Structure 1
Amino acid sequence: MKSNTRHIGKVVTFGEVLMRLSPAENRKLQQSNQMDFFFGGTEMNVAASLCQFGLQCLHVTNVSDDLVGDAAIASMRQLGINVTAVNRVDHPLGLYFLEVGSSARSSKIAYNRLHGAFANITEDTVNWEDVLEDCSHFHWTGITPAISEGAYHSLRKALEVAKTKNITVTADPAYRSNLWKYGKNGHQILKELVCSSTIFIGGVNEINEILGTNYSYNKEQFIEASKRLMEECPSITKVFDKIRTGLSASWQKIYGQAWTGTAYISTEELEITSVVDRIGTGDAYAAGILYGLQNYDDQKTLDFANAACALKHTILGDANLVSVDEVLDVMKGNTGGRIKR
């Protein structure tokens, strides 16, 4: 039996598309002479997950004008993503190398992205008035404005247009210090952009980075940090956070918590004892929030996001390929892994 949903408009995401290159079977790079590849990127991963949930998603990005860009676009189309706002440029697609860890050995990533196709996007590349027409939700992350000054200005323009159209803006403002190379203060820029958003996906760490505060990591401090964020950025109405406990690279525990503006809510902790792929798990959580905002109340939204995040740990590749019904099944406590016939 299919789930009843009330989809509202389309979701627009904005960010870099990357090629991921990774040795198979948990090998280190020096052990392998061949690698698997996947296309992904934080915001594209959110769009891909939402498409699996049945939403209409349009992804805005630059890709290379070559056979690699062709393959990236084909991958997005296969995932159901609308690619009409993908721009082709004469710069290489960004990529990254991933060694997948196991047990006590952590995964390792090396990026090659700072001079790629997306880094060369400009404020004039995207017609945001057209792109955001009939859009209900716009999603961005802190990685996008960190890539280049052009990406920052383009995102700022998108948020200006989104405000005029009363679009719900979800912000996942992760701060990556190694990306901010063009002379701007990342903390200040992220605060500016968050103050043009409505839903905050992050916790104490992200709030401390943006506001320069030093809240600690417990329930009471999360609530105080959320209230402080809403005071300094009055457009923010809700804060959704994911808490991870890593027992090893292969064994993770997660739960969600949120401040709704009036109440603290949380989920049960879910345990993943045999991680297949950690890449994209935070994006799966963000996609769960976006889907829930359009279909559920706050508690069920948080539960849905946490279950979606847990399931992504079992999916190889960057994108979460599970359906709404699979997520709801985990929410009901069906985590025994019985074969469905």
Structure 2
Amino acid sequence: MSSQRVPIEPQRVDAPLTQCATFLVVSVTNKPDAIETVQSTLSGLESLAKNVSIRDLGAQFACTVGIGSEIWDKLTGLPRPAELHPFREIKGAKHTAISTPGDLLFHIRSERRDICFEFERQLMDQLGDSVAVIDETVGFRYFDVRDLLGFVDGTANPVGPAVPSSVLVAEEDGHASGGSYIVVQKYTHDLPGWKDLSTEQQEKIIGRTKIDNVELDDAESGQRSHKTLSTIEDENGKEHGILRDNMPFGSPGSGEFGTYFIGYTRRLWVIEKMLENMFVGDPPGLHDRLLDFSRPLTGTTFFAPSASLLAGLGSD
């Protein structure tokens, strides 16, 4: 009798951008039963999601789970994804992409804030004292998918058939097949300083027009735009995309304005090269001028395994 291979079901890393999102980063505590509790919670995540999403099936609810490098071995007992390692600090002459801790990431999305809230409430009830919250950021969609700097965000995202080939690990790493690397950074903006620039100066930094989002020509030499520095090609000249699900966050009352960067990728080196270009510069010394107005508060790397792997956690 021939055996049939069980298909690998990815997590919903390509879920549509919604009106609301919660980015929850936690660490696993040293409680005696913490690992078992986390394994049980993650393996039952699909049931928890159904329990919440049934309240409004049109709200496009989704939750993606990322597992950090430091907890991977203990939590899964499975071979490590080939590129999984802690976020590497990138120090430029003027700005630094800092590295911060995090064992688990929950990227919670919905058209409704209350759906995100209720899922997170039930999730934290199940996890209990097995985890400690490191960061919780609530994001929102801002007009026509703009960031708080006023520019459209995510224009370069892959679409259609290009999404899986850009985001999901395939035959190059069989144990990690169907999974995706995730990098998160929480940036706060110097909005008053940014507003002091003319629209033309802002556009030159970003590499696109502000009103209609038209791509500007690349600089042939010298200072490059954010758009150019974040476009990555390999040694053969092939461009490698990532999927961004960035969201604005903030509070005008407290003067906080920011962007939560979250990038999904099949190849972690692509995002790492992107950040190196931004913080060190390409050529070195000419950093991304956007960083003069946007400061990273966090930097953490995760791997989102397949839904099939999550469902099997803790089973013998």
TM-score bin, normalised by smaller chain: under 0.3
Q: TM-score, normalised by structure 1?
A: 0.24
Q: Which has the higher contact order (CA 8 A, sep 6+)?
A: 2
Q: TM-score, normalised by structure 2?
A: 0.25
Question: Greater helix share, 1 or 2?
Answer: 1
